[in-house]
Amino acid sequence: MPRKKASNSPREAFFHLTLFTSLYIWTWALGALLFQFTNIAFPLPSESANDFFGEIRAATASIVAAFPVFLLMQHIIRREMEKDPGLGISPIRRWLTYLTLFVAVAILLTDLIFLVLRLLEGDLTSRFLLKAVITGSLAGGVVLHYMKELRVGESEKSSVPCFLSPVQLKGLLIGLIGVSVAGAIYVSGGPVKARYLAQDQQRVKDLRSIYYDVDRFYQSEGRLPTELDELDKSPATFIDNKKDLITGKPYGYAVVDGNTFQLSSDFHLPSPKRESSQGSRSYYGASDDSFWNHGAGNHTFTIKVATKKKN
């Protein structure tokens, strides 16, 4: 029987480099996503679920982009190996596989070191333990899979034990990815909620800008403007956005007394829950992020500017 001849073509290099690059991306993203789920399940006193939505969306996008590419490249490579068994012992494939195994083993060792260290320090919390299990499971899965993959092309049977068939393993992996992505969309609210939050944040940004311009006008003139158009007379107090950029509706402005005024706008959603500042909504309070917390629908902010000091 003729010996298998190893292949070393640029085409093969492209397939394997794409395969392993997509592998690194989606495994890292899956770990990051599961980490954020852990943070939400076991939050620190200063944390809320809203703090992790950005990382959840980034990880989800990475998985959705990279995982299908990984499956496609794996299918193409297996099909090519059926046509040319020499691909199974190609230097490119073996080098990249051993490099991946080295990285996975290094992660496993690091994970084990930190796990033992936390145990010895008596600080083995549920949050840390779950993250250690996630890291170990992902890295260990990569090690077992690619130890088995190294035997493909060299022999008909693998000496590495595997309790699942390739089809079952692939189905399990797709199921895990699907559940994780669905969970991410459910927790973060999906693209519609993200768009509404971004629009509400822009409204708050506009209102804060108006507040600062009104305050500068008061400190300069010693009075509040009767209407927002009065601020446009000076470059120092010119307002860029007096209207909602989404709806085109003007922001509400009303003078309450000599140094108190109100700003109002419509919002899609309530503000993300955060720790609110204590005390009254004073001049300094309006400079704080928590002052601008709002509910869904129309919300009015009553602001009292600092009284101008007399010389």
Question: pLDDT (tens digit, 9 = 90+) per residue, 142-163?
Answer: 888 888 877 754 554 444 445 5
19-23, 97-101, 154-158, 305-309: the lowest-pLDDT one: 154-158
pLDDT digits 0-9 by tens, 39-93: 888 888 777 777 788 889 899 999 999 999 999 998 898 888 777 766 667 788 8
The whole-angstrom separation of Cα 178 and Cα 173 is: 8
157 with 29, same domain: the answer is yes
Say which residues have a Cβ less than 8 Å from residue 169's Cβ, sequence separation at least 6.
145, 162
- Residue range of the domain that includes 223: 193-304
Residue 144's DSSP bridge partners are: none
What's the CA gap between 202 and 199, in Å, rounded?
Answer: 5
Q: Note whether 50 and 175 are same-domain residues.
A: yes
Look at residue 208 and give its three-state secondary structure.
Answer: helix
Q: Are 152 and 257 contained in the same domain? A: no
pTM assigned to the model: 0.69
Distance CA 140, CA 174 (A): 18
Q: Please give the mean pLDDT across all residues of the chain.
A: 82
Q: For 105-115, what is each residue's pLDDT tens digit?
A: 999 999 889 88
Q: Which residue, 193, 261, 195, 196, is CA-closest to 225?
A: 261
Residue where one domain finishes, among candidates 138, 158, 188: 188
Q: What angle separates helix 126-149 from helix 91-120, to the nearest 10 degrees?
A: 160
Q: Which residues 6+ apart lie within 8 Å of 66 measured at CB?
A: 22, 25, 26, 29
Look at residue 1 in the predicted model and tell me its pLDDT: 46
Q: Report how far residue 199's alpha carbon sits from residue 176's, in angstroms, rounded to the nearest whole number.
A: 33
Residue 279 pLDDT greater than 70, yes or no: no
Q: Decide if 303 contacts 280 (C-beta within 8 A).
A: no
pLDDT of residue 152: 57
Q: Are residues 247 and 139 in the same domain?
A: no
In a domain, 1, yes or no: no
- Are 181 and 200 within one domain? no
Clarify whether residues 66 and 107 are in a common domain: yes
Q: Is the pLDDT of residue 311 over 50?
A: no
For residue 284, the model assigns a pLDDT of: 47
Give dist(CA 40, CA 275) in Å, integer.
Answer: 16
Q: What does the alpha-carbon distance between residue 133 and residue 139 come to, in Å, rounded to a whole number?
A: 10
In-domain check, residue 309: no
Inter-residue contact 237 to 261 (CB < 8 Å): no
**Residue 234 belongs to a domain:** yes
pLDDT digits (tens, 9 = 90+) for 160-199: 445 556 677 778 888 989 999 998 888 877 788 888 888 9
Measured distance CA(139)–CA(109) in Å, rounded: 10
Same domain, 236 and 179: no
pLDDT higher than 90, residue 263:
yes
Cα separations (Å) of 175 from 139, 169, 170, 172, 286?
18, 10, 9, 5, 48
- Structural domain includes residue 262: yes
Identify whether residues 135 and 249 lie together within a single domain. Answer: no
The answer to the question of residue 138 being in a domain is yes
Q: Are 175 and 251 in the same domain?
A: no
Instruction: Lay out the sheet containing 297-304: strands in order across.
Output: 252-257, 260-267, 297-304
Question: What does the buried/exposed string (b/e) look like for 202-223 if buried means 16 or more CB atoms within 10 Å of the residue's CB?
Answer: ebbebbbebbebbbebbeeeee
The listed range with the strongest mean pLDDT (5-14, 231-240, 251-260) is 251-260
What is the structure's pLDDT at 48? 72
Which helix (H) or strand (E) element contains residue 267? strand 260-267
Total count of domains within the chain: 2
Kindly state whether residue 150 falls inside one of the protein's structural domains. Answer: yes
The single-letter code of the amino acid at 100 is T
Indicate whether 79 and 158 sit together in one domain. Answer: yes
Residues 30, 61: Cα–Cα separation, whole Å: 10
Residue 31 falls within a domain, yes or no? yes
